[in-house]
Structure 1
Amino acid sequence: MSLPGQDAQCAKGVSLLNLPLDVVNQVLEKLEPMELLTARKVCRSLRTSVDKFGLHFNKISIYIYDDSISIFLDGIGVTYSDARNGSSTVTYNAQKTLVDGVNFMEIASKDLKISLTLNHTSKLEICNKAHNSHIYGTSLFQSFKKCANVKVLTLIGLKDILTMLPYFDAETLENFQLWGADAIDEQITILDQWKNAKKFQLWNSDFDAKFISHLFHFQCFTINTMTEFSIEAMIEIRDDLLRRSTFESCYIYFNSSNPKELAKVFNYTGGYPCKIEYNNRFAVELEESTFEPNLFEFCVKRL
């Protein structure tokens, strides 16, 4: 909120903005990120200075509910709630502020945009606990004019993955994790965000083994449940994936009535669990998972 008489510039006379830029930056360095967000609302000059200085949040977590959104910036939480009649409440540090005539989603989206576009956040986590994930997930990012710079992206309980990924810079995104997603749409594999990422994890979701080759460009990947893990898919892993210089490791969990048949692809005839050193380059293991009965784990690691 601007102070009286400071709409276009800070108070006249000696002020922080009259100081040399390196001194201003030294002052800004003393402020916590949340204090910087408050400072940029004082006047246009301070907003410009803070924007040039940037924000430094290591992790941003977002929890979406039916009538509220909570955003945690390095563990410091702000909650945006529906106050009915088109108004909202913003709760920070146990203090509530009523905002008349503005939807809580709009306020949350604006603050998230500031936090992400002024900051190269290492990790972003979005967890949906609302019933309508298709509307809420994308609504948070619709005001973005450029992609958010995030290295590690975790999406939990969101169904509109194909719509969400393009909001993130494909050159920056290195690792993304999906929890409770619908079956992977093959269209996602043509996105640059998918092609350029180095690591991928899929949890609490089924992955069809016929799409196994779409995972081979990742340095590391984890699949929580692989359906129809066939001999043909294992042969693809042996003949393609294990010849790639960039590949480091993978973990695949699957159901099978006879996992030893899969091990035979590596000319393995020993006992169970299976431990294989393949071509003096990879450690291959196939054993019963400790997570869940009747679930097996296939693991490959570069030696």
Structure 2
Amino acid sequence: MASSITLIKMPEVVLNKIMNESDLKSILILRKVCHSLRTFVDTHDSGPNLIDLNIYIKPNEIEAWYYTRNGLHVVHYRGRNQENNCVFLHENKEKVLRDMNFVDAFLLDLEIFISLQNSVMRQFRVTRGNADPFQTVKDVNLSLFNRILKALENVLKKRPRPLQTNEIHLAVEDQEQVLSILKSIDAKVLKNLSIYSNLKEEEELEINEIIQMDHWKQAKFLMVEDFILDVPVECLIQFSFVRAVLKTISTKDLMVSKENILQSSIFKEFSLTYTQLEDESEISSVLGEPIITTDIFGRQDFKWIIDSPVNCQKVEITHFQTHRQFKITNIESLEDKVKRMAQERS
């Protein structure tokens, strides 16, 4: 009787063919079969390319969303009580990896997929939690988060070329953590830069080095949440969309914003919350007399509509005084919107 041939005993040319035809789900399974197959997968130079990679870090779990052309695969890496075992959950199927911490198991998978990635991703995210409305910043395991960011930095450094992604979303404690990741991201294809805070209180984020990077100059969408930026609005005018909290907004900031935004062909919307508003009494001298609206609670909003000299569009500036926020929006007519969408499709 002929002896049975196991997968690991197959010729390397056959295993290479299997790898080239495997999707991400199959690769995840192969890596969990045995040490020999994991080593083979990790040293193979091709595999499925990710479209999105979203990593959500929880106190005792890492949830990874791997999205490829074959679909979305959500994988949970969980710690198991006090044991040094990892629970690997994928498509409601649970596998226990003995003598392996859940963080180590995740990092092994992360390294192989990052190293195999050779196309432009749509989105790359490393943030806390998931879409859980009850989770707060206080629920974040900062030592775990910092360990993963440091491991990610090292994995990215090993790549022969910068990782390419249109969007990057990072939860951090300070500027250094942002820099450590951005240095290994290709600025030429970056469109969206989103930064979230892992701190317990809303604190200032130094960005003096970030604003000097090509990534800052190249991106068109900026979102900074739960941080306060101590920068003039002038540092933001190259973006088409901004959502952030500024330490101070002055009359000079509004004047610079007005002049630059009216000349911009890419501007869409700025939502700028402030902690301090300087020279509030002089705003009308810069923007003109406002349209004042009052809600049923007696709260007043101030609105200005300004014609753009560059095109037929209008810019609407609204001061939500109660919320300490300026919202600046490009008002696009239906006809102009249809023309723009037609041009974008062509």
* TM-score normalized by the length of structure 2: 0.66
State the match for 2:115 in structure 1: 117
State the match for 1:95 in structure 2: 94
Query: Could you say if the C-alpha distance between residues 98 and 39 of structure 1 is closer, same or farther in structure 2, counting changes exceeding 3 Å?
Result: closer
Q: What does the per-residue CA deviation read over 1:86-106, in whole Å, with 9 as the maximum and x for residues that have no partner?
A: 934141233132242x44333
Query: Could you say if the C-alpha distance between residues 242 and 278 of structure 1 is closer, same or farther in structure 2, counting changes exceeding 3 Å?
Result: closer
Residue identity opposite 2:268 in structure 1: S
Q: 5+ residue gaps in structure 2?
A: 129-139, 293-302, 333-346
Q: What does the per-residue CA deviation read over 1:233-282, in whole Å, with 9 as the maximum and x for residues that have no partner?
A: 1222234454455x42231333559868435424x224232222232535
Cα pair 1:221 1:251 within 8 Å, conserved? yes
Query: Could you say if the C-alpha distance between residues 163 and 46 of structure 1 is closer, same or farther in structure 2, counting changes exceeding 3 Å?
Result: closer
User: Using the alignment, how far apart are the partners of 2:267 and 2:122 within structure 1?
Assistant: 22
Q: Choose the corresponding residue for 2:66, options 68, 73, 94.
A: 73
Query: Could you say if the C-alpha distance between residues 110 and 48 of structure 1 is closer, same or farther in structure 2, counting changes exceeding 3 Å?
Result: closer
User: Using the alignment, how far apart are the partners of 2:86 and 2:251 within structure 1?
Assistant: 56
User: Using the alignment, how far apart are the partners of 2:244 and 2:16 within structure 1?
Assistant: 53
Deviation at 1:230, TM superposition (A): 0.4
User: Using the alignment, how far apart are the partners of 2:173 and 2:213 within structure 1?
Assistant: 18
State the match for 1:213 in structure 2: 234
Q: Choose the corresponding residue for 1:161, options 167, 170, 178.
A: 178
Residue identity opposite 1:95 in structure 2: E
State the match for 1:35 in structure 2: 26
User: Using the alignment, how far apart are the partners of 1:294 and 1:215 within structure 2?
Assistant: 21
The percentage of aligned residue pairs carrying the same residue is: 18
Q: What does the per-residue CA deviation read over 1:33-68, in whole Å, with 9 as the maximum and x for residues that have no partner?
A: 21244457875997499743x424332221223443
Residue identity opposite 2:94 in structure 1: Q
* TM-score normalized by the length of structure 1: 0.74
Cα pair 1:278 1:284 within 8 Å, conserved? yes
Q: 5+ residue gaps in structure 1?
A: none
State the match for 1:137 in structure 2: 149
Matched, 1:150 2:141: no
State the match for 1:184 in structure 2: 205
For the residue of structure 1 that corresponds to 2:204, the secondary structure is coil
State the match for 2:52 in structure 1: 59
User: Using the alignment, how far apart are the partners of 1:123 and 1:107 within structure 2?
Assistant: 23
User: Using the alignment, how far apart are the partners of 1:214 and 1:232 within structure 2?
Assistant: 13
Cα pair 1:184 1:207 within 8 Å, conserved? yes
User: Using the alignment, how far apart are the partners of 1:168 and 1:18 within structure 2?
Assistant: 31
For the residue of structure 2 that corresponds to 1:142, the secondary structure is helix
Q: What does the per-residue CA deviation read over 1:177-222, in whole Å, with 9 as the maximum and x for residues that have no partner?
A: 1223653321111223223223211233322342x2222333x231
Query: Could you say if the C-alpha distance between residues 241 and 271 of structure 1 is closer, same or farther in structure 2, counting changes exceeding 3 Å?
Result: closer
Cα pair 2:251 2:280 within 8 Å, conserved? no
Q: Choose the corresponding residue for 1:287, options 318, 322, 340.
A: 318
Query: Could you say if the C-alpha distance between residues 164 and 270 of structure 1 is closer, same or farther in structure 2, counting changes exceeding 3 Å?
Result: same
